[in-house]
């Protein structure tokens, strides 16, 4: 039987050193993210959102405490093993898209599968299926510079889905997009959540939180509020 929590942080702190000064980016964080959650992590600049994202996404480890990913304590794993687990469990979507400029849309989507030993035929077949899912089949052969911002973000979402992860971690995914295009991207996340994906959205845009199910507020490195919210439909 699978653990109900896909990600769990227990008494987690993250410190950084700046010269002789110790900066407490996060302190005494306890968090449970359940399978199928759709969460927005919000807070002002410098509140600890980025640090929280890195810890929740297993991109960084804590200075104190324990982080569990799918029931496994990842705190003491070697980076090579952690990278494999992270690559299979979590898909990442970033504000700046981070696409490879020399690869076209379908090749960008297929890229993460290479690192997990998926053969070329299977990679391309899977990438074509994902292109359909993000409504971008007609742009399969276009390079990033030939795509609009919204289309680039669709490719980035497709790439995040490449290894069929349980969790999608999206860092300001609409930050470089206009309002209409941003809502189209949010609709993709809502549909992915309906299909069972756990979505974690890191954002400063409070207009987006009405489309999620839970809101996590951070201030001065601490969680100050966790609450369920009524999820609005995107028209």
Q: Could you tell me the residue ranges of all domains in the chain?
A: 36-60+78-228
* pLDDT for res 42: 94
Q: Does 34 have pLDDT greater than 60?
A: yes
Tokens for 104, please give them. Answer: 């076209």
CA distances from 126 to 76, 97, 118, 198 (A): 33, 20, 10, 20
Structure tokens, 82: 């952690």
Cβ(213)–Cβ(39) under 8 Å?
A: yes
* pLDDT in the model for residue 204: 86
What is the number of alpha carbons within 13 Å of residue 235 lying toward its C-beta? 1
Q: What CATH class is the domain 36-60+78-228?
A: alpha beta
Q: What is the pLDDT of residue 1?
A: 54
Contact 202, 41 (CB under 8 A): yes
Four-CA torsion 194, 196, 198, 203, nearest 10 degrees? -20
User: Cα–Cα distance between 67 and 74 in angstroms, integer?
Assistant: 6
Residue 2: is its pLDDT beyond 80?
A: no
**Span 48-78, pLDDT tens digits:** 888 999 998 988 889 999 999 999 999 888 8
Which residue in 229, 200, 184 sits closest to 41, CA to CA? 200
* pLDDT attached to residue 166: 94
Q: Which two tokens stand for residue 70?
A: 């799918």
pLDDT digits (tens, 9 = 90+) for 80-106: 888 888 888 999 999 889 999 999 999
Task: Enter the pTM of the model.
Answer: 0.92
DSSP 63: S
Q: Quote the longest CA-to-CA distance of the chain.
A: 55
CA-nearest of 61, 58, 45, 48 to 12 is: 61
Distance between CA 109 and CA 162 in Å, rounded? 6
């Amino acid at each position: 039987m699978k653990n109900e929590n896909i990600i769990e942080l227990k008494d987690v702190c993250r410190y950084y050193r700046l010269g002789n000064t110790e900066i407490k980016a996060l302190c005494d964080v306890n968090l449970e993210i359940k399978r199928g959650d759709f969460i927005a992590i919000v807070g002002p600049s410098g509140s600890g959102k980025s640090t929280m994202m890195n810890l929740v996404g297993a991109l960084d480890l804590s200075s104190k405490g324990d982080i569990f990913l799918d029931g496994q304590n990842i705190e003491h794993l070697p980076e090579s093993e952690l990278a494999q687990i992270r690559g299979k469990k979590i898909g990442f979507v970033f504000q700046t898209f981070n696409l490879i400029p020399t690869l076209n849309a379908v090749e960008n989507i297929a890229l993460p599968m290479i690192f997990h030993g998926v053969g070329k035929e299977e990679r391309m077949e899977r990438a074509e299926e994902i292109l359909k899912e993000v409504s971008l089949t007609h742009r399969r052969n276009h390079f990033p510079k030939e795509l609009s911002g919204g289309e680039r973000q669709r490719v980035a979402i497709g790439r995040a889905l490449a290894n069929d992860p349980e969790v999608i971690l999206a860092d300001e995914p609409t930050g470089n997009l206009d309002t209409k295009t941003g809502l189209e991207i949010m609709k993709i996340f809502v549909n992915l959540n309906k299909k069972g994906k756990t979505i974690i959205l890191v954002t400063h845009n409070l207009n987006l939180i009405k489309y999620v199910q839970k809101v996590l507020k951070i201030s001065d490195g601490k969680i100050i509020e966790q609450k369920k919210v009524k999820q609005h439909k995107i028209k």
